[in-house]
Amino acid sequence: MKEILRVDNVNKHFYEPEDFHVLKDISFSIQHGEFVSLIGKSGSGKSTLLYLLSTLDTDYQGTISINDTVVTGLSQNALAKFRNEYIGFVFQFHFLLPEFTVLENVMMPALKLKKYSRNNIEEMAMQKLELMGMDSYAKKLSSKLSGGQQQRVAIARALINEPLIIMADEPTGNLDSANTEIVFDIFQKLSQKGNTIITVTHDADFAKRADRIIEMVDGKIPAVKEVV
């Protein structure tokens, strides 16, 4: 199986109000198509690590490689292009634009990438919404949806550019058990189709059903657990 992400000796400090060593000598790799859960207590560093992996935070020591590209040290413009092409994001708060329709929200990352025509992008967006069971809501304002529906639209948006990796930060944190189950099933199917899923979660039941658990303790990874 191909390695899709590698982290080598990553350290991260926060300097305000005083020096705090938040990530300590982090090293691990993730394979193509893996579904990985990052877990740990609040303050363990898991969300900080995810933001480094996503290339949204570049202030660290060490090396991060994604899809055979060393992203450490790339310019902000190069990183923005790389993110838009290879990484899809799903957050606890979906960040849909309320004044736009469901379809328009899903189309936005592809319009920004400028790789396809608007007609093609609209067709792609409808396919992603259909995958989420949300195609019948395409013309509805995103603000008129329930929380679970909005999160499914956010996942469709994350998929629009066919990313290699989907990174999710507490994607079920605001969802009830039924919608949590829907989101897990979606991620599992995406992983089976070849997408790599990396998700930070406090939900132990959600985490243990992933392919692998990476547990963080006080900014370190003491062990990597395989799910059996």
Q: Examine the pLDDT at 213 and tell me if it is beyond 90.
A: yes
CATH number at residue 98: 3.40.50.300
Q: Examine the pLDDT at 227 and tell me if it is beyond 70.
A: no
Expressed as residue numbers, the domain containing 116 is: 35-44+74-226
How confident is the model over 14-30, as a mean pLDDT?
91
Least confident of 45-54, 103-112, 119-128, 184-193: 184-193
Per residue in 73-87, pLDDT (tens digit) is 999 999 998 988 899
Cα 26 to Cα 8, 37, 86, 171, 227, distances in angstroms = 7, 16, 22, 23, 21
Q: What phi, psi does 211 have (nearest 5°)?
A: -70, -35
Q: What phi, psi does 21 have (nearest 5°)?
A: -85, 95
Give the span between the Cα atoms of 96 and 140, in whole angstroms: 12
Task: Using the CB atoms, write b or e for 128-150: b if 16+ within 10 Å.
Answer: bbebbebbebbeebbeebeebbb
Pair 66, 198: CB distance under 8 Å: no
Domain assignment of residue 10, yes or no: no
Query: Among residues 220, 190, 160, which one has the least CA distance to residue 32?
Result: 190
- Report the percent of the chain where pLDDT is more than 70: 96
Q: Where are the alpha helices (DSSP H) in the chain?
A: 46-53, 76-86, 102-113, 118-131, 147-159, 177-192, 204-208
Total-model pTM: 0.85
Domain assignment of residue 50, yes or no: no
SS3 category, 60: coil
Per residue in 58-74, pLDDT (tens digit) is 999 999 999 999 999 99
Which pLDDT value is given to residue 223? 63
Task: Name the residue type at position 33.
Answer: G
Q: Examine the pLDDT at 224 and tell me if it is beyond 70.
A: no
How confident is the model over 102-115, as a mean pLDDT?
90
Q: What phi, psi does 171 have (nearest 5°)?
A: -65, -15
Domain assignment of residue 184, yes or no: yes
Domain assignment of residue 84, yes or no: yes
How many CA atoms, within 13 angstroms, populate the side-chain half-sphere of residue 126?
8
Domain assignment of residue 188, yes or no: yes
Q: Examine the pLDDT at 136 and tell me if it is beyond 90.
A: yes
Per residue in 172-203, pLDDT (tens digit) is 777 788 878 888 888 888 898 888 999 998 88
Which pLDDT value is given to residue 147? 83
Q: Examine the pLDDT at 207 and tell me if it is beyond 60.
A: yes
How many CA atoms, within 13 angstroms, populate the side-chain half-sphere of residue 183?
34
Domain assignment of residue 66, yes or no: no
Q: Examine the pLDDT at 228 and tell me if it is beyond 50.
A: no
Domain assignment of residue 5, yes or no: no
Which pLDDT value is given to residue 151? 84
Domain assignment of residue 151, yes or no: yes
How many CA atoms, within 13 angstroms, populate the side-chain half-sphere of residue 93?
3
| 90 or 36: which leads in pLDDT | 36
Number of domains in the chain: 1
